């Protein structure tokens, strides 16, 4: 999965220096095929949202644009969707496939995920089935693997984006936990380019700036509630970031493309995208991680009762352990009951 070639930015002195470093110190990497981030400048239309009315002062203010984008992602209505995710990391022999049932209502979250592995030879092997339910106060999580059921209780609130296994569908563009708009809103050199640029025929505001997580550039569609149609993240590690005892990162790029956006009951949602992460290692070699996601059966204000959402499916008698402490419960009749017996054998 290693390859030669990565895209370099020509938009600032900082990233010109990065390009020079890659071209001189890492000659195996070329800029062939690199896409200019400032191609075409279509005329700028009046910013629109669902319903056809201009939204705030987003036409001139990059912070207003980002706040619109953040509000759209943070204030999703009750929603349910099925997500298919394929992941392939440069340093792993097998890829991963996730089949996710995603349900969210206010603070509540219910995610069911079947995970399997696949190889270059076409082989597929089932690994485990997970379910996680956050009720606003605690997380109840269970895993079924090899016919055995394990369950834990966690007090910490889970990341909605991460639990979807496709965080870029929810505005998290790199391996961190923070929405891109929150990072950019803290940027000291935040700007919006003078002209909109079309992405797959959709005029978008191009907003960029340096953040603690790297240089971010996002293409936001005002006609789709400022959803992100394209994104680039650039990270230069100085000193290099260790991966393990033998490898480290010198430079990384995140590229999000092929974004599809659909609407349900007037709500826009990102329902597909491909994320490619290019890693430049300390020895000059490169590797590529690939993440591809597609959502279907997207429903706003669905009938959660019909699919038994937010109701854990554990066999009676299952022990539930507290991750942050030493307490234990037993699952009985759809609820947690005090544990009074001896511990069952370990897995």
Residue 226, pLDDT score: 96
Residues of the chain with pLDDT under 70: 1-60, 245-246, 341-347
Report the C-alpha gap between 20 and 14 in whole angstroms: 10
Residue 161, pLDDT score: 83
Is 41-311 a CATH 1.10.10 domain? no
Residue 212, pLDDT score: 87
Per residue in 279-322, pLDDT tens? 888 888 889 999 999 999 999 999 999 999 999 999 999 999 99
Q: Identify whether the C-beta of residue 83 lies closer than 8 Å to the C-beta of residue 262.
A: no
Q: What is the DSSP string of 98-110?
A: EEEEEEEETTEEE
Nearest Cα neighbor of 218 from 185, 250, 262, 245 is 185
Report the C-alpha gap between 339 and 347 in whole angstroms: 19
Report the C-alpha gap between 117 and 86 in whole angstroms: 10
Q: Identify whether the C-beta of residue 90 lies closer than 8 Å to the C-beta of residue 289.
A: yes
Residue 248, pLDDT score: 79
Domain boundaries of the chain, sorted by first residue: 41-311
């Amino acid at each position: 999965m290693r390859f030669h070639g990565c895209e370099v930015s020509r938009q600032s002195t900082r990233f010109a220096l990065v390009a020079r470093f890659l071209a001189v110190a890492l000659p195996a990497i070329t800029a062939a095929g690199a896409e200019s981030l400032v191609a075409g400048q279509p005329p700028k239309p009046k910013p629109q949202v669902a319903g056809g009315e201009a939204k705030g002062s987003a036409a001139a203010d990059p912070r207003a644009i980002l706040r619109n984008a953040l509000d759209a992602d943070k204030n999703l209505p009750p929603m349910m969707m099925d997500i298919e995710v394929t992941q392939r990391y440069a340093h792993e022999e097998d890829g991963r496939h996730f089949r996710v049932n995603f349900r969210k209502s206010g603070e509540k979250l219910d995610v069911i995920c079947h995970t399997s592995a696949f190889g270059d030879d076409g082989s597929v092997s089932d690994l485990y089935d997970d379910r996680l339910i956050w009720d606003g106060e605690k997380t109840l999580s269970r895993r079924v693997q090899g016919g055995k059921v394990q369950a834990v209780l966690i007090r910490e609130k889970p990341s909605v984006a991460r639990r979807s296994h496709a965080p870029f569908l929810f505005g998290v563009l790199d391996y961190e936990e923070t929405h891109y708009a929150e990072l950019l809103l803290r940027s000291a050199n935040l700007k919006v380019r003078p002209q909109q640029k079309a992405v797959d025929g959709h005029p978008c505001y191009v907003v960029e700036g340096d953040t603690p997580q790297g240089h971010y550039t996002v293409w936001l569609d005002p006609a789709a509630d400022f959803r992100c149609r394209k994104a680039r993240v650039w990270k230069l590690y100085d000193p290099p970031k260790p991966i393990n005892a033998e490898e480290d990162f010198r430079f990384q790029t995140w590229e999000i493309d092929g974004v599809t956006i659909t609407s349900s009951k007037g709500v826009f949602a990102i329902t597909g995208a491909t994320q490619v992460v290019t890693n430049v290692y300390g020895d000059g070699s490169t590797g590529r991680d690939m993440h591809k996601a597609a959502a279907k059966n997207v429903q706003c204000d669905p009938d959660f009762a019909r699919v038994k959402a937010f109701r854990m499916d554990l066999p009676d008698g299952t022990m539930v352990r507290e991750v942050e402490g030493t307490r234990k419960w037993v699952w009985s009749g759809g609820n947690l009951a005090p544990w009074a017996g001896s511990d069952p054998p370990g897995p």
